[in-house]
Structure 1
Amino acid sequence: MLKGCEPLPRRRCRPRTPAEYVEPTPLPASLWAVPPDTSIMWDAYTCKSYGCLARHGKAKGSYDCKDCFDLGGREKDRWVRHDKEKGDECNSLNYSIDDVLGSLPRGSVRIGLDIGGGSGTFAARMRERGVTVVTTSMNFDGPFNSFIVSRGLVPMHLSVASRLPFFDGTLDVVHSMHVLSSWIPDGMLESALFDVNRVLRPGGVFWLDHFFCLGTQLDATYLPMFDRIDFKKLRWNADRKLDRGIHMDEWYISVLLQIWYNY
């Protein structure tokens, strides 16, 4: 998939309906309701229930979106509050949605994209604020796309190697947390960032959330890369990455970048 292969198989067979299928919960309750386990087929996964996925994430953390199927856990606080550990909200890596929206003209953010959005919580928070966000997610170790759609949100099964299927200058906001980071080959990452620039309208914003890399990479590789793409920096915060309990030259950056008006 990282080499650009088609993520979805081309087929002519009809998908099977799960036994004892249950209709989805209506909006707005569906945004924070874990769907019934009978809503999907579990053939492709080790876990056979959403409860198993939530416990599996807490115990082993073996998939990317740790704990994100547990809507009563850390998901409920994402993007709604600052990280106040340092007592200085201005230097926080954890931007809140309300602060980001408040920094832009009122009502100017209407449609957007969340790249690698896990179980769709960012899109759910934006939906509560009247913003429609499409969430890209791959079904690595769990039925992420099915979970997103059960919340009344729009999933898109798309790898980071694929071009974004939007016309030029159409989106108000693009968000990505962790997915667009140093684990992606430099050439592929730069192409992805240029594609983000392409689909954003003039004045639109790119919220790069907790991008991680080595400190040496930040100065030598990624800062020049951001400059080549020609974003305007609205916010830029950096801090050491200590979530693994080890002190290495690993860094997080959170940035809010805007597309220039070109007249």
Structure 2
Amino acid sequence: MHTTKLRVSTSQQQQQLDAAMDGAHRPAARRSKMRILLVVIATNLVSVYLFSGASLSLRLPASAPSIHLWDSSALLRDLNATRAALATARAEIAGLRAQCNTSSLLLESVLAGLGAVHGDKPAAEDFNGWPEEPTGELRFAIEPHRLPLGFSAKFGTDELYPGLGFACRNFQEEFAQYMTYNASGECPDDDAFALQLMLKGCEPLPRRRCRPRSPARYVEPAPLPGSLWTIPPDATVNWSPYTCKNYTCLVNRARARGGSYECKDCFDLAGKERRRWLTDNGGPGFSIDGVLASRRPGTVRVGLDIGGGTGTFAARMRERNVTVVTTTLDMDAPFSRFVASRGLVPLHLTLTQRLPFADGVLDIVHTMQLSNWVPGGVLEFALFDVYRVLRPGGVFWLDHFFCLGPQLNGTYVPILDRVGFRRLRWKASRKLDLGAERNEWYVSALLEKPMT
């Protein structure tokens, strides 16, 4: 019984405590509700005032223009007036610019006349280094062109500058002759002249707005895979710049005189060219299959052959499902067209030009062109560029590099070490016949770009 009374007493005390706390919270709840009600009333009053047509008065400087935030017709009038004022200002600026240009031309004319009277020589730096301001197609090809808005923020320039070899400035008369032609007409027959400019360092040449003449009685090339080992018809080439006027002449000249300027016997596809890179001789003569065996099957897919002559290396690689681009120069023979007729990709490129590939995209680079005739500085730049375009784990096949004995360890090995290749295979042998007496050597190397 005592326990029951204690429980009742405790329950009554709890009810009294809850009632006291509820009474304490009620005034606070009433105050919060009153605040919310006042905010709602104030907001409604402001909305009624604004949308009743009354103007909003802001304390702005006297010189500031009036702004009608809630009057759409007045705002439209202000915008139109501002647009008209901007158009007038632009027209005035354009007029002032034209007047300044006219004044500059008059001043230059007067100064030139005064200089002629006094025997002064004209300034050499007139139009970005050109003695006389270029005109016609030459100026249109080399002047910068305006890019659309927004390019400057992304790429740091608002003008597009056409590619042009720096050395073109050293041969300005020849360069102007190359760029003199009938726009939208037929291009001059000047392949040999263009090659001379390229070899002088005027590379890249600018584009031209003319159409080269197609060969007379053109014959389509043979279809693949037969085209890889078929000498193309003579009618596929305009032969005027070349000593030989047909492919038969090139084949016979190679057999009689030991090769053209670029490669020995390379136009005779039925002769020694058909057997190249098929076997490994244990010395500097590596085989394609032996080189491919150094990589995981299927990982050599795209590559480059520097100075690849008539494209036989690329043809061998295509037979193995590898795509190889061949760099050529049409030195006294149509090497580029010959390569293309075989169903391969020629790239007209000199040794000094940066390889037109992004960093780390090629699986293999091969060359038989590099030898001690290449100046050391040019060679080192070329090797670093090869390293650049190879992917990590890609291989560089330096094939039959020719040099003198003292040059090998004194000059070329240190250059290769500086580039950073890792040696997979290295074979050096003394050149036979007269080369043995002159201490001449061939070196072939298979070099890997490290993975890291």
TM-score range, shorter chain: over 0.9
Question: How far 1:3 sits from its partner (Å)?
Answer: 5.6
Cα distance in 1 for partners of 2:415, 2:431 equals 21
Q: Counterpart in 1 of 2:226?
A: 29
Q: Which residue number corresponds to residue 123 of structure 1?
A: 314
> In structure 2, do the counterparts of structure 1 residues 43 and 56 end up closer, same or farther at CA, with 3 Å as the change threshold?
same
What are the Cα deviations for residues 77-106 of structure 1, in whole angstroms up to 9, with x where unaligned?
Answer: 0001123xxxxx3xx211000010011111
Gaps of 5+ in 2: 1-197
**Corresponding position of 2:429:** 239
Length-normalised TM-score, structure 1: 0.93
CA 1:230–1:106 in structure 2 vs 1: closer, same or farther (change >3 Å)? same
Does residue 148 of the first structure (1) align with residue 339 of the second (2)? yes
Q: Cα offset for 1:137? A: 0.6
Q: Is it true that 1:12 corresponds to 2:202 in the alignment?
A: no
Given the alignment, which residue of 349, 361, 373 partners 1:183?
373
* Among 265, 271, 285, the residue aligned to 1:67: 265
Percent sequence identity is 64
Contact kept? 1:8, 1:157, Cα under 8 Å: no
Specify which of 346, 349, 357 is matched with residue 158 of structure 1: 349
Return the offset for 1:74.
0.6
**Number of aligned residues:** 254
Tell me which amino acid in the other structure corresponds to 1:200.
Answer: L
Q: CA deviation at 1:10?
A: 3.9
4+ long deviations beyond 3 Å = 1-4, 7-10, 243-246
Per-residue displacement from partner, 1:107-166 (whole Å, max 9, x unpaired)?
Answer: 010000000000000000000000000000100110000000000000000000101000
* Equivalence for 1:43: 240
Helix, strand or coil: the match of 1:254?
strand
User: Equivalents in 2 of 1:144, 1:208: separation in Å?
Assistant: 21
What secondary structure, in the 3-state scheme, does the structure 1 residue paired with 2:437 have?
coil
Checking the alignment, whether the CA contact within 8 Å between 2:435 and 2:441 is kept in structure 1 is no
Q: Provide closer, same or farther for how the CA distance between residues 9 and 70 of structure 1 changes in structure 2, counting only shifts above 3 A.
A: farther
Q: d(CA) in 2 for partners of 1:192 and 1:3?
A: 17
The yes-or-no answer on 1:54 pairing with 2:257 is no
For each residue in 1:45-77, what CA deviation from the matched residue of structure 2 results, as whole angstroms up to 9, or x when unmatched?
010111101111222235121210110011000
Quick one: distance in 2 between partners of 1:230 and 1:241?
27
Distance 1:111 1:41, change over 3 A: same
Unaligned runs of 5+ in 1: 84-88
Q: Residue 195 in 1 paired to residue 382 in 2?
A: no
Match of 1:213 among 403, 407, 424: 403
Aligned to 2:394: 204
Task: Please give the residue correspondences for 1:70-109 in structure 2 after superposition, counting only pairs within 5 Å.
Answer: 70-83=268-281, 89=282, 92-109=283-300
Q: Which has the higher contact order (CA 8 A, sep 6+)?
A: 1
TM-score (norm 2): 0.55
> What displacement does 1:2 show?
5.3
For residue 15 of structure 1, report the CA deviation from its aligned partner: 1.2
Tell me the distance in 2 between the aligned counterparts of 1:141 and 1:8: 20
Q: Is the 8 A contact 1:3 1:161 kept in 2?
A: no
Task: Report the Cα offset of residue 244 of structure 1.
Answer: 5.1
| Alpha-carbon distance in structure 2 between the residues aligned to 1:204 and 1:245 | 33
Structure with a larger share of its residues in helix: 2
Residue type at the aligned position of 2:409: D
Paired with 1:10 and 1:70, the residues of 2 have a C-alpha distance of: 34
Task: Provide the aligned C-alpha RMSD in A.
Answer: 1.4
* 1:22–1:39 CA contact under 8 A, matched in 2: yes
